[in-house]
């Protein structure tokens, strides 16, 4: 557990507090800061429970941006990446669709490019890949529930404002 990043939850004063080993109950949903390493291991989800280092997550994103290849090794087929990153369901939320694995920007609403693909995680983590700009952006905030936090909604704008050509 020493390699797990600290995670945080809102406190009663409007700030945040680190979570220890205690169980957190949100209605019928129960979790801990050390899931999936400790506990009953009863929450099975194909899309949940990923634990990674930031550097390995960045390498995963680089492989996606490279069309399925990393360090000269093909890990996923080019067509697989194309299916994963192409809208498969049509307009869901006015500006986005969904590929076979990621949210897809289909209509530009702020800084960025059409075709950005992204996903978020339980601990207020998010990433996006902009193939037009050859850009990977990863934010690991380690907070749940997010309460009134606004970092994720500002993360894309802050990223593009930092781009210097």
Host domain of residue 27: 1-46
Q: Are residues 18 and 37 in the same domain?
A: yes
pTM of the model: 0.87
State the DSSP H helix or E strand holding residue 158, giving kind and residue range, or none if neither: helix 151-161
Taking only the tens place, the pLDDT of each residue in 87-116 is 999 877 777 899 998 999 998 877 899 999
Q: 61 preceded by cis ω (within 30°)?
A: no
Q: Are residues 92 and 40 in the same domain?
A: no
Total domains, the chain: 2
Apex 123 CA angle, 59 and 31, nearest 5: 125
Q: Are residues 102 and 128 in the same domain?
A: yes
Mean pLDDT of residues grouped by 10 in the chain (165 residues)? 79 87 82 71 63 90 98 97 92 81 87 92 90 95 80 89 90
Distance CA 102, CA 90 (A): 13
Cα dihedral across residues 49, 124, 129, 86: positive or negative:
positive
Name beta bridge partners: 118: 103, 128
Instruction: Determine the pLDDT at residue 88.
Output: 92
Tokens 């193939």 sit at which residue?
A: 131
Q: Are residues 98 and 126 in the same domain?
A: yes
Q: Are residues 83 and 154 in the same domain?
A: yes
Q: Are residues 30 and 104 in the same domain?
A: no
């Amino acid at each position: 557990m020493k390699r797990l990043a600290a995670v945080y939850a809102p406190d009663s004063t409007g700030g945040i507090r680190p979570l220890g080993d205690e169980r957190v109950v949100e209605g019928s949903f129960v979790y801990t800061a050390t899931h999936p390493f400790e506990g009953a291991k009863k929450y099975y989800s194909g899309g949940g429970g990923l634990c990674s280092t930031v550097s390995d997550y960045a390498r995963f994103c680089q492989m996606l941006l490279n069309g399925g290849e990393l360090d000269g090794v093909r890990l996923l087929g080019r067509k697989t990446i194309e299916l994963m990153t192409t809208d498969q369901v049509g307009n869901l939320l006015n500006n986005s669709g969904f590929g076979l694995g990621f949210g897809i920007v289909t209509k530009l609403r702020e800084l960025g490019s059409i075709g950005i693909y992204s996903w978020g995680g339980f601990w207020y983590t998010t990433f996006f890949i902009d193939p037009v700009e050859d850009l990977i952006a990863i934010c690991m905030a380690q907070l749940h529930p997010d309460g009134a936090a606004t970092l994720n909604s500002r993360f894309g704008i802050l990223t593009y404002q930092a781009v210097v050509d």
